[in-house]
Amino acid sequence: MQFSFFDKKREILIDHDGIVEYYPQFFDASEELFQKMITEVKFSQNTIKMWGKELSLPRLESWFGEKAYTYSGLTLKPNPWTPSIFLMKEHIEKNLSQHFNSCLVNLYRTGEDYVGPHADDEKELGAEPCIASVSLGASRKFLMKHRYEKDRQCEILLSSGDLLVMKGPFQHFWVHSLPKMKKEMNPRINLTFRTIY
C-alpha cells in the first residue's frame, strides 16, 4: 500500500494551554485502511477495576509497539506491528517530523461505544506527549474541554482519513472524549500513535 504525499491542509483547533492540529483527509485510502484494520487486528474486550468492580470497556482495543502500556490499572501487552499500521506510522512520522513507538487501536462497534472524558497523561508518555490520532470508518464527534476554564471547549466531527495531533501541555490542561451517538451507527476505528518512554 502507498500513501500519497499531497499538500496537507492543517488547521489549528487549540493553541491555548496546549496545541491541537487537525489535518482533514490526511489518509486518502481510508476505506482500504479500515478493511485492513478489520482483517489484521485482533481486538480484545478489556476490563478495568473500578470501586472494587470489574467493568468491561465500552469499546474493543489492541495495543502495538515495543513496550507495555498501563492505564486505569489495565496493562496492555504489545502486539507486533502489522504491515499497515507500520506504514501509517512511517507516513505520519515523515509528515510531522516526529517519532512514535506505540499505537493504541480502538474499535467502536456502534454509536453506543465511546470513551469518556480523560487525558493521556500517564508518566510513561512523557511530560508533554505528542499523540497523533487517525480516524477510520464512521464519523464521530470528538470533544475537548479545558479542565480549569469551564467556558473553553472545542468540538469536531472526525471523519474517515482525518488526523488530529495533540501536543505541548494539552494533556495537562484539557480532557478529551468520544461521546455516545446513535446506536445504529457504523463502526469506527481510531489509532493513536504515541511514544512510551
Ligand X SMILES: O=C(O)CCC(=O)C(=O)O
91 versus 142: smaller Cβ distance to ligand X: 142
In order, the DSSP letters of 133-165 are EEEEES-EEEEEEESS-TT-EEEEEE-TT-EEE
Query: CB 50 → ligand X: shortest distance, Å?
Result: 17
104 interacts with ligand X by CB under 6 A = yes
- Mark 122-151 with x for binding to ligand X (rule: CB under 6 A) and - for no binding: -----------x--------x---------
23 versus 142: smaller Cβ distance to ligand X: 142
* Cβ-proximal residues to 26 (8 Å cutoff; 6+ apart), any chain: 8, 92, 95, 134, 161, 162, 163
Binding test (CB under 6 A) with ligand X, winner from 29, 38, 115, 143: 115
119 interacts with ligand X by CB under 6 A = no
190 interacts with ligand X by CB under 6 A = yes
The C-alpha cell at 160 is: 474517515
Cα angle value 140/21/44 (rounded, 5°): 45
The C-alpha cell at 15 is: 493553541
Q: Are 63 and 77 in contact (CB under 8 A)?
A: yes
Nearest alpha carbon to residue 93 among 25, 26, 32, 36: 26
192 interacts with ligand X by CB under 6 A = yes
Q: If binding means CB under 6 A, how many residues of this protein chain bind ligand X?
A: 10
Query: CB 178 → ligand X: shortest distance, Å?
Result: 4
30 versus 192: smaller Cβ distance to ligand X: 192
Query: CB 64 → ligand X: shortest distance, Å?
Result: 13
H or E element: which one contains 142?
strand 140-146
Q: What's the one-letter identity of residue 156?
A: I
87 versus 119: smaller Cβ distance to ligand X: 119
The strand pair at 74-76 and 11-14 is best described as: unpaired
Distance of CA 155 to the CA centre of its chain: 15
- Mark 148-187 with x for binding to ligand X (rule: CB under 6 A) and - for no binding: ----------------------------x-x---------
Q: Which residues bind ligand X (CB under 6 A)?
A: 104, 106, 115, 120, 133, 142, 176, 178, 190, 192
